[in-house]
Amino acid sequence: MYGYTLHIPAPIDVYRAMHKAVLEVVDEEGGGEGLVLHFAYPTGQGFDLIEVWESKEDLDAFNRDVFAKAMARAGIPMDGPQPEPVEFTPAGVMTPRAFSFDDAT
């Protein structure tokens, strides 16, 4: 397994636009195989994103096949410096049910 955290200095609404666009691309074209856990939350400096994948190769395929299309769809530029991931190897993951920010409203 492969995990990482990103600290992104942008409002949580940017995350929501990204998330919506990713779900649309995956719904239309597929992709995202190997994703175990996706978790995001607002911080005082923007938002943090944590993901766990079956492998780094699965994440690389997602970034290549889905993420770039989703960012273009959302109108979010990909140029400029990118956040530096903090990588980790998960000791364990438990996901009893899915949750979407839409569920909280």
CATH number of the domain that residue 20 is part of: 3.30.70.100
Is residue 50 situated within a structural domain?
yes
- Asked if the structure places residue 105 within a domain, the reply is no
Does 87 reside within a domain? no
> How does residue 100 score in pLDDT terms, banded at 50, 70 and 90?
low
In a domain, 103, yes or no: no
Question: Which residue, chain included where needed, has tokens 């903090």?
Answer: 86
Cβ partners under 8 Å of residue 36, min gap 6? 1, 52, 53, 54, 90, 93, 95
Higher pLDDT, 68 or 101: 68
pLDDT digits (tens, 9 = 90+) for 3-25: 999 999 999 999 999 999 999 99
- CB neighbour burial string for 28-38, b if at least 16 within 10 angstroms, e if fewer: eeebbebeeee
- Return d(Cα 50, Cα 7) in angstroms, integer: 9
